[in-house]
Amino acid sequence: MNFENKIVWITGASSGIGRAVALEIAKEKAKLILSGRNREALVEVAETCIKSGSRAEVVPFDLGDEKSVADAAASVLSKYAEIDCLYHFGGISQRSFVAETPLFVDRKIFEVNYFGTIALTKAVLPLMIKNGGGHIAVTSSIVGKFGFPYRSSYSASKQALHGFFESLRAENTKNNIRVSIIIPGRIKTNISVNAINKEGKTHAKMDEGQDTGKPAEETAKIIVKKLKRFKKEILVGGREVIMVHIRRFLPSLFYYMSSRVKPL
Ligand SMILES: NC(=O)c1ccc[n+]([C@@H]2O[C@H](COP(=O)([O-])OP(=O)(O)OC[C@H]3O[C@@H](n4cnc5c(N)ncnc54)[C@H](OP(=O)(O)O)[C@@H]3O)[C@@H](O)[C@H]2O)c1
Domain ranges of the chain: 7-260
The pTM assigned to this predicted structure is 0.98
Report whether pLDDT(263) > 90: no
Q: CA distances (Å), 236 to each of 167, 182, 184, 209, in order? A: 23, 8, 5, 15
Instruction: Give the residue whose CA is nearest to atom 24 of ligand 1.
Output: 90
pLDDT above 90 as % of the chain: 98
Which atom of ligand 1 approaches the CA of 187 most closely?
A: 3
Residue 137: closest CA among 82, 87, 83: 87
- Which pLDDT score, from 0 to 100, does residue 45 have? 98
Quick check: 56 and 45 in contact, CB under 8 A?
yes
Catalytic-labelled residue, pool 80, 154, 255, 256: 154
Q: Is 87 a catalytic residue?
A: no
User: Residues with Cβ < 8 Å from 51, sequence gap 6 or more?
Assistant: none
- Which pLDDT score, from 0 to 100, does residue 13 have? 99
Lowest mean pLDDT among 116-125, 155-164, 177-186, 252-261: 252-261
Instruction: Give the residue whose CA is nearest to atom 36 of ligand 1.
Output: 12
Helix (H, G, I), strand (E, B) or coil at 77: helix
- Which pLDDT score, from 0 to 100, does residue 262 have? 81
Say how far apart CA 139 and CA 205 lie, in whole Å: 22
Top mutation candidate among 194, 222, 236 for ligand 1, by most atoms within 8 Å of CB = 194
Quick check: 64 and 70 in contact, CB under 8 A?
no
Ligand 1 center to 250 CA (angstroms): 31
Q: What are the tens digits of pLDDT across the range 69-105?
A: 999 999 999 999 999 999 999 999 999 999 999 999 9
CATH for the stretch 7-260: 3.40.50.720
Which atom of ligand 1 approaches the CA of 68 most closely?
A: 32
Ligand 1 center to 137 CA (angstroms): 14
Ligand 1 center to 190 CA (angstroms): 8
